[in-house]
């Protein structure tokens, strides 16, 4: 029996199992909302606060109405595990997911289970720890360039928006890992944040079922279409040039081009490649940039954690940048990053769509409901995280981790759709954090307002204004 038929049979078995689950009659408690609109305005204003309010008032599973669409907020590790590990009942959003306007049928948004599985299986080997380690030198080169830019900024004494700085360096990293050459200029030639503009547009459509159709000539629709035209032209050009040249550069594009389906021996079309390349850009740069931004902010508010991190960095490295082996000897830097992601998960909400009537937490969830697994609430769940608002990287020591509920800490998701770029993100983030802390101290400008806001990612609404200072010298080691 070939792999495809084995999978079809397994899927049929699990569908039968799903159908046999007794579905209760009672629906989950509902959040209060307006007639007709329900909670649309609350979600548009601040989706995280709307979901938080529902959680505080009604518990771990709450029903929200967005006009004609019903949405369930899920805020406990156990329920999150149930949802994320059962992709037959809790599937990805359907073909009308507005994010597909940007990401097409890439891994993140593909609504066809079979083609997702085929592509995921082909791409998995690219993102193993071992394979990703070949990109470490590229990441180090980008980190060095970032340090040079920060050095000039420090000389001028300006406060910088560190969110923008982090966005730039992570875009540089994903761009160079994908295309090996420095594509920043090509990317800037379209619009410095073209992909972000497009993704934000798509997200606002996802949140608001009353958005005007894309064919209407509204200013937002026109801007979106123009941006996408530029992005598509650039991506197809870079893909076709590489195919034509036949060059091998050991970068992500090379790896994607050489993938073959194990059953058919067929590789990806240009359109499939375009979708995966844009998905990697969209999923792979802002997430890491945001976590680093929040980490710098938390460190600026917790000097004792910063000093301990600096001591580790100095003790292991002295003044040089870390090698891959060094990073394994710097567990505290990883713990700091992990604890930041608990409080500020950069992808705070993971959406699913129920394919059938089902039972969750003792309630009925009808087919066609949207289920939002809320990683922000789960990271602050009082039963799993004592004193949840406190920033304490010791929660992630080897011993402490053994006590965590399996799904209490899932910033990279869980189950079959677990983030494919997890190792890439962790390697990149740990390196950048170490490089930043090794050289500078970042102080949040006290008059600058910090508010988190969820679009697809959890951004600081007004950016993150920080001043850059030379490192204190009363800790071990030297750095210059």
Binding site for ligand HEM (CB under 6 A): 107-108, 120, 279-280, 283-284, 287-288, 291, 346-347, 350, 411-413, 417, 419-421, 424-425
Separation of CA 369 from chain center: 23
Q: Between 284 and 379, whose beta carbon lies closer to ligand HEM?
A: 284
State the minimum distance, in angstroms, from the CB of residue 323 to ligand HEM: 21
| Backbone CA torsion sign across 231, 118, 251, 270 | negative
Q: Between 194 and 429, whose beta carbon lies closer to ligand HEM?
A: 429
State the minimum distance, in angstroms, from the CB of residue 108 to ligand HEM: 4
Q: Between 335 and 346, whose beta carbon lies closer to ligand HEM?
A: 346
Nearest partner of 69 among 201, 203, 210, judged by Cα: 210
State the minimum distance, in angstroms, from the CB of residue 329 to ligand HEM: 22
CB atoms within 10 A of CB 465: 20
CA–CA gap between residue 317 and residue 195 (Å, rounded): 36
State the minimum distance, in angstroms, from the CB of residue 274 to ligand HEM: 14
CA–CA gap between residue 66 and residue 38 (Å, rounded): 5
Q: Between 70 and 340, whose beta carbon lies closer to ligand HEM?
A: 340
State the minimum distance, in angstroms, from the CB of residue 252 to ligand HEM: 8
**DSSP 8-state code for residue 293:** H
SS3 state at 94: coil
Residue nearest to ligand HEM (CB): 421
Q: Between 385 and 424, whose beta carbon lies closer to ligand HEM?
A: 424
Nearest partner of 316 among 470, 477, 474, 136, judged by Cα: 477
Q: Is 432 left (phi over 0), alpha (psi -120 to 50) or beta?
A: alpha
CA–CA gap between residue 464 and residue 162 (Å, rounded): 5
Q: Distance from first CA to last CA of the chain, Å, rounded? A: 62
Residue with tokens 């990401």, as numbered in its chain = 103
In this structure, the dihedral spanned by the alpha carbons of residues 451, 404, 378 and 108, taken in order and rounded to 10 degrees, is: 90
Q: Between 346 and 377, whose beta carbon lies closer to ligand HEM?
A: 346
State the minimum distance, in angstroms, from the CB of residue 410 to ligand HEM: 7
State the minimum distance, in angstroms, from the CB of residue 366 to ligand HEM: 21
Q: Between 39 and 295, whose beta carbon lies closer to ligand HEM?
A: 295
């Amino acid at each position: 029996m070939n792999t495809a038929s084995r999978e079809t049979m397994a899927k049929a078995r699990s569908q039968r199992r799903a159908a046999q689950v007794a579905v209760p009659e009672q629906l989950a408690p509902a959040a209060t909302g307006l007639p007709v609109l329900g909670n649309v305005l609350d979600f548009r204003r601040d989706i995280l606060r709307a979901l938080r309010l529902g959680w505080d008032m009604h518990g771990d599973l709450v029903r929200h109405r967005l006009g004609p669409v019903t949405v369930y907020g899920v805020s406990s590790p156990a329920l999150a595990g149930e949802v994320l590990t059962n992709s037959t009942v809790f599937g990805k959003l359907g073909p009308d997911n507005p994010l597909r306007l940007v990401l097409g049928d890439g891994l993140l948004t593909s609504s066809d289970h079979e083609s997702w599985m085929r592509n995921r299986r082909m791409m998995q080997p690219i993102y193993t720890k071992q394979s990703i380690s070949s990109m470490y030198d590229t990441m180090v080169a980008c980190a060095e360039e970032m340090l040079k830019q920060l050095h000039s900024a420090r000389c001028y004494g300006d406060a910088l928006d560190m969110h923008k700085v982090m966005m730039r360096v992570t875009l540089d990293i994903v761009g160079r890992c994908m295309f090996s050459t420095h594509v920043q200029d090509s990317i800037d030639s379209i619009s410095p944040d073209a992909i972000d503009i497009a993704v934000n547009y798509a997200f606002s459509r996802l949140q608001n079922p009353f958005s005007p159709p894309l064919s209407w000539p509204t200013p937002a629709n026109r801007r979106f279409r123009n941006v996408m035209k530029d992005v598509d032209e650039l991506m197809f050009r870079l893909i076709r040039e590489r195919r034509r040249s036949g060059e091998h550069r050991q970068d992500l594009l090379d790896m994607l081009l050489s993938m073959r389906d194990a059953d058919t021996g067929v590789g990806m079309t240009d359109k499939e490649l375009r979708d995966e390349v844009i998905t990697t850009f969209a999923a792979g740069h802002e997430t890491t940039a945001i976590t680093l931004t929040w980490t710098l902010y938390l460190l600026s508010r917790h000097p004792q954690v910063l000093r301990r991190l600096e001591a580790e960095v100095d003790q292991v490295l002295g003044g040089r940048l870390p090698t891959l082996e060094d990073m394994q000897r710097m567990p505290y830097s990883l713990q700091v990053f992990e604890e930041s992601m608990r409080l500020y998960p950069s992808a705070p909400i993971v959406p699913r769509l129920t394919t059938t009537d089902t039972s969750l937490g003792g309630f009925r969830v009808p087919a066609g409901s949207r289920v939002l697994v809320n990683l922000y609430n789960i990271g602050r769940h009082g039963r799993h995280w004592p004193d949840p608002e406190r920033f304490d990287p010791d929660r992630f020591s080897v011993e402490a981790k053994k006590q965590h509920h399996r799904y209490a800490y899932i910033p990279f998701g869980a189950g079959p759709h677990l983030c494919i770029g997890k190792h890439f993100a962790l390697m990149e983030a740990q390196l950048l954090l170490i490089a930043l802390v090794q050289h500078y101290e970042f102080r949040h400008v006290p008059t600058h307002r910090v508010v988190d806001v969820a679009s697809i990612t959890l951004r600081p609404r007004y950016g993150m204004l920080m001043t850059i200072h030379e490192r204190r010298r009363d800790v071990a080691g030297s750095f210059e």
